Amino acid sequence: MSWKEAEEYFSNHDLVILPIGSNEQHGPQNPLGTDFIIAEAIAEELSKRTGFASLRCVPYGVSFHHMHFPGTIAIDEVVFMNYIYEILKSLSKWNVKKVLIINGHGGNLSSLQILARKAREELNLLVFIFQWWALKSLENYFRKDELGHAAAVETSFIAYLHPEWVSKKEAVNEVPKEKVKELTWFTYTKEATESGVFGVSKTFSEEKGKKVFEEVLDYLVKLVEKIEKEKF
């Protein structure tokens, strides 16, 4: 958009879509940018289907747990939150009242939840956070051991979007070491899995990836309709 086109958009819409991802290891078979590639693809297609504008993707996130794997880029939580907050603050000046964040990386979630509270209190802005892998319907296509980080569900998704970026021969299956369920503490991915894959990835398929993509978009289109009606 030009600034004139943006002016027209903001005079008629108070909602925008913001994809956020990360640049981190996703097993030996997937590109480092898997999270932001998927988040941006979802956001762009959702924009087409709903008419709401999508911002460009923020490609870096909170990924310290993956730092033993080459190519991973991690952003400090405070720096990450300050950066996203400035985006939200700018949007609030242009009549935006609602932001739907398509979060492609689970490590960003706690920071985004804090931002959602700050945006509500300080900017009069409602921030909604969506994570595609949280959809229960994905269990219709994948077993539990296929739903982990860099496993079959995520590999299928990226294989559907960019099959040329996924190496079938490099796909691995690895059972991660379990943490003590009663405790939560910071751990590195390397302490749980040597390959970076949590579970089974060899069963990925582009066909299943397409089903996941459509499942996510169908859900989001309905979700946006609800968000539109949200009053505060």
The CATH number that applies at residue 89 is: 3.40.50.10310
pLDDT grade for 232, boundaries at 50, 70 and 90: low
The CA-based dihedral angle spanning residues 222, 223, 225, 226, taken in that order and rounded to the nearest 10 degrees:
130
Is residue 8's pLDDT more than 90?
A: yes
Range of the domain at 47: 3-229
Cα separation of 119 and 88, whole Å? 7
pLDDT tens, 175-202? 999 888 889 899 999 999 999 999 999 9
Q: Are 177 and 192 in contact (CB under 8 A)?
A: yes
Instruction: Name the residue among 74, 203, 98 with its Cα closest to residue 141.
Output: 203
Q: Mean pLDDT score of the chain, rounded to an integer?
A: 96
For the segment 58-72, the average pLDDT, to the nearest whole number, is: 98
Give the count of domains, the chain: 1
Amino acid at 179: K
pLDDT tens, 95-115? 999 999 999 999 999 999 999
End-to-end Cα spacing for the chain = 29
